[in-house]
Amino acid sequence: MAIIEVSGLRKVYGGRTVVDDVSFTVAEGEIFGILGPNGAGKTTTVECIEGLRVPDGGTVRVGGLDPVGDHDRVTQILGSQLQESELQPKLTVREALELYAACYPRPADWRALAGRLGLAEHLSARFGRLSGGQKQRLFIALALIGSPRVVVLDELTTALDPRARRDTWQLIEEVRAAGVTVLLVTHFMEEAQRLCDRIAVIDRGRVAALDTPAGLIGRSAQSVVVSFTPSAPLDPAELAALPGLGSVAPAGGRGGGEAEGRLEIRGTDATVDAVISLLARHRITAHRLRVGDATLDDAFLDLTELTAPTPQEA
């Protein structure tokens, strides 16, 4: 059953259409990701879902409710962590958690949330003195404190260090396991690939693709990556003629040894077969041969046209 339904969503700012006929559904209990370049319309889309902006066309429903017309009821089932948020500088972490908990009939245990997000030792700290990462963890706690059925997380792990980011990923997986639907907007491809059941890629206000992470990667023109250090130089013209070739480039390495002259070839299964045949034909040995799938980064670049950020992030 779909808990979020977006159909033909359209939003215009100053005569410029920033969201144009966006449609998708999110199943209950799903982690649904939204990816896209800066200015693509991601944040405007989720703000319409949250009821923070009024659509200029189309419909949005959360649990069957209109986020604008039924805003008070929607806030009882939807929690959100916005891309940019602020609290009063002198408000302490404890006061913020207690204040938000008081707004809901069945709030989560804010003490347990604080402990899970590494805030237990900072309950007496004032918001204005928190680090960027501590503020981000507090906003995640505030998004979850109402025991929502749906939580919207916009740039979830911005400002978090790698360890805190992975701890937060585990928390989100636990939240989903408890039956909460998660709508995740992110620029971190590793985050999207690990967490999301499905992803909508939005580019220039439209849905460019909607699929599972594996499905998006499989649709990439460069779905396979092969890297190796050849025992002798290969003819660039022969490499350029490989079937299904996406790119040929020096592979990243840490100076010296086999890293020098190492190649990274992106393409399809047919490309890999042709590379192996090419090496055998010239009796060239491929040292430290590695073959693997492309990443979500590769699929994202294939599916979107990167454009310069607009003055107002959409």
Single out the residue of 36, 3, 34, 61 nearest to residue 198, CA to CA: 34
Residue 4 has pLDDT above 90, yes or no: yes
Query: Residue 88: how many CB atoms within 10 A of its CB?
Result: 11
Provide the token pair at 214: 């594996």
CATH 3.40.50.300 domain span(s) along the chain = 2-217
pLDDT in tens, 171-184: 889 889 989 999 99
**Ordered DSSP codes for 121-161:** GGTTSBGGGS-HHHHHHHHHHHHHTT--SEEEEESTTTT--
Compute the distance between CA of residue 290 and CA of residue 226 in angstroms, rounded to an integer. 6
Tokens standing for 37? 């370049």
42 in Cβ contact with 201 (< 8 Å):
no
Task: Say whether pLDDT at 262 is over 60.
Answer: yes
Amino acid identity, residue 41?
Answer: G
Two structure tokens written together for 309: 């950020």
* Per-residue pLDDT tens over the stretch 87-142: 999 999 999 999 999 999 889 999 999 998 889 999 999 999 998 888 888 998 99
Nearest CA among 299, 294, 296, 293 for reference residue 190:
296
In terms of residues, how long is the chain? Answer: 314
Fold of 2-217: Rossmann fold (3.40.50)
Tell me the pLDDT tens digit for each residue of 135-168. Answer: 888 998 999 999 999 999 988 777 678 888 888 8
Would you call 289 exposed, middle or buried from its count of C-beta atoms within 10 A (0-12, 13-18, 19+)?
A: middle
Helices (H) then strands (E): counts for the chain: 11, 13
Query: Whose CA is closest to 218, among 290, 299, 302?
Result: 299
- CATH 3.30.70 residue spans of the chain: 221-293
Tokens of 267: 């393409």
DSSP H or E stretch at residue 276? helix 269-281
The third-level CATH classification (topology) of the domain covering 221-293 is Alpha-Beta Plaits (3.30.70)
Tell me, what amino acid is at 4? I
Q: CA-to-CA distance for 52 and 56, rounded, in angstroms?
A: 13
Specify the pLDDT at position 175. 86
> What pLDDT does residue 9 have?
97
Q: List, for residues 49-92, the tens digit of each pLDDT value.
A: 999 999 999 999 999 999 999 999 999 999 998 777 789 999 99
- Give the three-state DSSP class for 101: helix
**Per-residue pLDDT, 56:** 96
